[in-house]
Amino acid sequence: MTDFAVGTRTAGIDDAEYDALLTEVTDWVRGPGEEWSERIEAADDVPRELFDELRDRGYLSMAAPVDLGGRGVSFTQWMGLMEIFSRSHASIRMLVHVVNGTWRAILPYASEEQIENYVKPMIAGRTLVAFTLTEPGNGSGADISCSVRREGDTYYLSGRKHLITFGVKCDYWLLFARLEGTTGPDGLVALLVDRNAPGAQVEDTSNTMGVRGTDHATLRFEETPVPVAQRLGDEGEGLRIALGGFLTPSRISVAMSCVGLAERAQELAVVYARERVTFGKPIAKRQAIAFMLAENAADIQAAKQLTLHAAREWEADSPDAPTLSSMAKMTAVDMLTRVTDKALQVHGGVGYWKTSTIERVYRDARAQRFEEGTNEIQKTIVARAVLGDADDSKRNGAAQ
């Protein structure tokens, strides 16, 4: 097993290289990224050409260690880049976010052979892996019911998953299931399931309110064979792999995604407020509008700083990082709701039309309220820490 702290946390690149990278990404988001955004909205699809462009530019491997083929930016540096990418179309952000993060769940538990066969191809952008935890009939923790039984060197998988991002177009599902006959978190396993495995049925459920173009799936498995060699870690470590390896840093990344999208909404509102004239003067000169924009600016900065604090704590392998990730996510989501609502209000009726960019931003913002767990789940996690019940939550894995 790869050491967790070393394997998933990189030292980062020097300031000059990082500043150049920030400039490059900013220019891409404002230029080609906007053109891609228009194409995605028009076709309701993320074309393969976009994935290839992001890969060829190195944008899908920024956060991974250099010795695995990545750029080697630190997690806090990655947050700065995530902030910029999130000002673009939500499906662009989703691709960059997921591909730059899913390997974190796999690497600490992967054998050398699995690193060569799965982790490095993921980082190189040759393989797309979909995080596959959520189920239609229960929560997203120790109560999952998708099950496997083992016969020799093969698991046989049965059950359902839904709301699986990239579940249609992926190459593998990083799937969490229960050993048949077990209860609680100790019976969970993490498996890499081939997208084309026998007995796997995929239903495309991509018709969403926002984040248009990103594919989502409902999955059904009937005695689907999965080689034991494609299990990560040991039996019983599934929940640890799902929560610690992926969800904690991913929640921090989602929080920063909220910051970036809120900044985009604020930018649009400021431009419109300066341009829109009523009764002889720009509406930016009217106190009601100016106060909305002032509140937005303060709101964004508060969420950003909490998110950066959570990122630094995760980078330092702090035991407080999981709780802080939930704090950051729930704070940033509420902030984004307020900011986008005010930004749309500044636009008046014009903002309600699809010809207005703020309309897309407003729709995309709503998805953040349940990505990587609803705010109700985040509050439950934080409350446990506040009330001293953190050990109980780790044991039962509920509401994660």
151 is catalytic: no
Residues 107, 64: contact at Cβ < 8 Å? Answer: no
Which residue has tokens 């509102």?
269
Q: Whole-angstrom Cα distance, residue 219 to residue 167?
A: 8
The values of phi and psi at residue 227, to 5°, are -60, 140
Q: Whole-angstrom Cα distance, residue 261 to residue 29?
A: 12
Which candidate, 320, 333, 331, 329, places its Cα nearest to that of 384?
Answer: 320
Which DSSP string corresponds to 335-373? HHHHHHHHHHHHHGGGGGSTTSHHHHHHHHHHHTTTTTS
Among 151, 313, 372, 376, the active-site one is: 372
Kindly list the distances between the CA atom of residue 330 and the CA atoms of 103, 177, 260, 334, 374, in Å, as whole numbers in the listed order. 24, 27, 15, 6, 8
* Pair type for strands 216-227 and 154-165: antiparallel
Q: Whole-angstrom Cα distance, residue 65 to residue 234?
A: 24
Which candidate, 355, 362, 365, 343, places its Cα nearest to that of 271?
Answer: 343
Angle, helices 321-347 vs 287-315, to 10°: value is 160
Q: Whole-angstrom Cα distance, residue 62 to residue 71?
A: 4
Burial class of 306 by CB neighbour count within 10 A (0 to 12, 13 to 18, 19+)? buried
Which candidate, 166, 156, 169, 228, places its Cα nearest to that of 198?
Answer: 156
Q: Which residues does the annotation mark as catalytic?
A: 372
